[in-house]
């Protein structure tokens, strides 16, 4: 992905080419972390830079220090010294949002920008700040915020949900363009019919498995060649359906003792242990609950797995991991619903109901007919290769910015790209 770690990022902006249009990309996330939204943000920043834009990326002051060619990484202050931020709403995230808002306003006041790209709740900030500076903003809608907050004991209360929905509608109305996770475009059109909307189609990168790395990982985790490895990758938030997966595994493993479940993405050792303890004692030796891994090791796990699982009990947005799953050319068990069926069907996955027995049945079907499982995996892989290339993703990003109302960014960006090639 052309992203590399480095020790330090200067707080000063890099030398700016005044002939290039400039975008401020604001993400209320740690950056960089090997998980959904930060990965998507890195893709977007790289695509903008390759398309001829100067990019300042403003993020939380947490995460790996990385370098993306053509991208200047800025961070807000960290007055409380936080070392991590959990996925979803938290007091830590809310406090850092306040710091992010302050730095966002400072950058708009002291630097010249042609547009703002605001991720998740940063779009609420952009909806207030950008009109003051007469700047268009793109709302990068990873999920529907009211739905995301609906299960919170306080923020899920009806008056606060009504406020969240009203805010969402106002932000959507003010955005120059909304680019959202697959499955959310219908919601955007219902709430803001006059706002342009595009669904993300993230790029996939097919890799050749390193057989020695796979063998080493298998040995380290004590996984036999005869084991049937069921793999989940992602955070352990409730909307990912981890409890459902554990219940389904218990049912499927009772019928097939060769099944072994691997879940990669625990926030810490405590969460990993809590997750493992939800299973009956006689099945705990058949699971591996592991912390979040770096990207190279994730690719090794995908090569080692026999079957991949993605569940979505709530939310309609496509999980980013689904694109990687398809590129891995392994059979996928996925729950039915817009989050998956926007790009999956019965020819590309083993779709199942959102209950433990339905999921267990999907797992059983994968191993009951290896020839069909191979066809389904290859069909998904072929579809991903045709539709989710890097060049298509870059065209999608440049197309969004080239058509922002009241701007001529496409011409300016193309001119800067042409000049750099001379």
Instruction: Indicate the Cα dihedral angle 235, 191, 174, 35, nearest 10°.
Output: 10
Q: Are residues 235 and 183 in the same domain?
A: no
Contacts of 3 (CB under 8 A, 6+ apart): 32, 42, 46, 66, 67, 68
CA distance 325 to 310: 9
Tokens of 215: 């063998």
**Distance spanning both ends of the chain, measured CA to CA:** 25
CA distance 158 to 154: 9
**How confident is the model at residue 333, as a pLDDT?**
98
Q: Are residues 308 and 402 in the same domain?
A: no
**How confident is the model at residue 328, as a pLDDT?**
94
Q: Which of 33, 36, 109, 20 is nearest to 71 (CA)?
A: 20
Q: Are residues 222 and 306 in the same domain?
A: yes
Query: Residue 112: inside a domain, yes or no?
Result: yes
**How confident is the model at residue 418, as a pLDDT?**
52
* Number of domains comprising the chain: 2
Q: Are residues 127 and 243 in the same domain?
A: no
Helices 356-368, 242-255: crossing angle, 10 deg rounding: 50
Range of the domain at 100: 4-203+389-411
Query: Residue 422: inside a domain, yes or no?
Result: no
CA distances from 129 to 57, 137, 145, 188, 208 (A): 17, 10, 19, 21, 46
Query: Residue 236: inside a domain, yes or no?
Result: yes
Q: Are residues 154 and 282 in the same domain?
A: no
Give the chain's residues under pLDDT 70.
1-17, 408, 410-422
Q: Are residues 256 and 166 in the same domain?
A: no
pLDDT in tens, 410-421: 555 555 555 555
Q: What is the CATH number of the domain that holds 182?
A: 3.40.50.2000
CA distance 65 to 287: 32
**How confident is the model at residue 8, as a pLDDT?**
37
CA distance 285 to 282: 7
Query: Residue 417: inside a domain, yes or no?
Result: no
**How confident is the model at residue 164, as a pLDDT?**
87
Q: Are residues 356 and 402 in the same domain?
A: no
* DSSP H or E run through 214: helix 211-220
CA distance 281 to 275: 12
The backbone region for 134, taken as left when phi is positive above 0, alpha when psi lies in -120 to 50, beta otherwise, is left
Q: Which of 175, 173, 341, 311 is nearest to 242 (CA)?
A: 311
Query: Residue 44: inside a domain, yes or no?
Result: yes
Query: Residue 418: inside a domain, yes or no?
Result: no
Question: Cβ(298)–Cβ(233) under 8 Å?
Answer: yes
* DSSP H or E run through 38: helix 36-50
pLDDT in tens, 11-26: 444 555 677 899 999 9
DSSP helix/strand/coil, 26:
strand
């Amino acid at each position: 992905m052309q992203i590399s770690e480095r020790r330090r990022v200067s707080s000063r902006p890099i030398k700016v080419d005044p002939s290039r249009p400039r975008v401020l990309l604001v993400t209320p996330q740690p950056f960089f972390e090997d998980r959904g939204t930060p990965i998507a943000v890195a893709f977007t920043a790289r695509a903008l830079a390759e398309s001829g834009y100067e990019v300042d990326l403003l993020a939380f002051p947490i995460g790996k220090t990385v370098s993306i060619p053509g991208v200047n990484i800025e961070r807000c202050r960290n007055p409380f010294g936080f070392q991590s931020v959990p996925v979803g709403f938290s007091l830590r995230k809310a406090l850092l949002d306040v710091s992010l808002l302050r730095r966002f306003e400072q950058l708009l006041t002291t630097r010249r920008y042609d547009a703002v790209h605001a991720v998740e709740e940063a779009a609420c900030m952009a909806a207030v700040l950008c009109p003051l500076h007469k700047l268009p903003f793109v709302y990068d809608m990873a999920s529907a915020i009211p739905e995301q907050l609906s299960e919170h004991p306080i923020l899920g209360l009806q008056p606060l949900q009504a406020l969240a929905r009203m805010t969402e509608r106002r932000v959507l109305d003010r955005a120059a363009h909304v680019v959202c996770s697959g499955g959310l475009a219908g919601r955007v059109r219902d709430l803001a019919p006059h706002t342009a909307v595009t669904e993300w189609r993230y790029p996939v990168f097919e890799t050749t498995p390193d057989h020695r790395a796979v063998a080493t990982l298998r040995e380290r985790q004590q996984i036999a060649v005869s084991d049937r490895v069921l793999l989940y990758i992602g955070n352990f938030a409730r909307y990912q359906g981890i409890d459902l997966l554990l219940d389904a595994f218990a049912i499927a493993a009772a019928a097939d003792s060769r099944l072994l479940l691997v879940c990669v993405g625990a926030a810490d050792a405590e969460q990993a242990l809590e997750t493992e303890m939800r299973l009956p004692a006689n099945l705990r030796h058949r699971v591996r609950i592991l912390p979040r891994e770096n990207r190279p090791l994730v690719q090794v796990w995908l090569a080692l797995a026999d079957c991949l699982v993605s569940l979505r009990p709530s939310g309609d947005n496509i999980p980013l991991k689904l694109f990687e799953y398809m590129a891995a050319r392994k059979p996928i068990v996925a729950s039915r619903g817009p989050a998956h069926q926007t790009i999956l069907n019965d020819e590309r996955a083993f779709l199942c109901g959102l209950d433990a027995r339905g999921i267990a049945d999907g797992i059983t079907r994968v191993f009951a007919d290896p020839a069909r499982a191979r066809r389904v995996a290859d069909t998904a892989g072929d579809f991903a290769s045709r539709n989710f290339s890097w060049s298509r993703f870059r065209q999608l990003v440049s197309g969004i910015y080239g058509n922002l109302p009241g701007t001529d960014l496409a011409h300016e960006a193309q001119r800067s790209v042409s000049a750099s090639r001379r």
